Amino acid sequence: MKTNSFQARVHEWVVSCFPASAHRDRRERTHRFLEEALELAQSSGCTRDDAIALVDYVFSRVEGNVAQETGGVLVTLAALSTAQGIDMDDAGEVELARNWSRIDQIRAKQAAKPQGSALPQ
């Protein structure tokens, strides 16, 4: 990972905000990513029925390669951002700055969730 890349700076925030049990937990990080992806899809006009149909479609297929799927997420996020007139780099920087200012709130929300899940109790 590049020293001052966005990914490295997000990692610095995650380590500062969460205990190792949360920021190193792949299952929990996956659930948080899925939650955010669903929120983006919802705010972009995706319906619940569309989301459920896509879940069924994806899980009916062979599991992909994590590195390749990560690249696919980045490519499709860039394409969606462009289609919506959003600069994804700026949006990421704004959200990261906002997150640094909300560490106490984020920790409280994290404490209210079951360990290893993005779902509230």
Per-residue pLDDT tens digits for 14-31: 999 888 887 888 988 898
- Please compute, for residue 87, the number of CA atoms within 13 A of its CA located in the half-sphere on the CB side: 4
Q: What mean pLDDT value characterizes the chain? A: 91
Q: In Å, what is the CA distance from 60 to each residue of 27, 70, 100, 116?
A: 20, 19, 39, 24
The residue ranges of every structural domain in the chain are: 9-111
Q: State the average pLDDT over residues 57-61.
A: 97
pTM attached to this predicted model: 0.86
The confidence score (pLDDT) of residue 115 equals 66
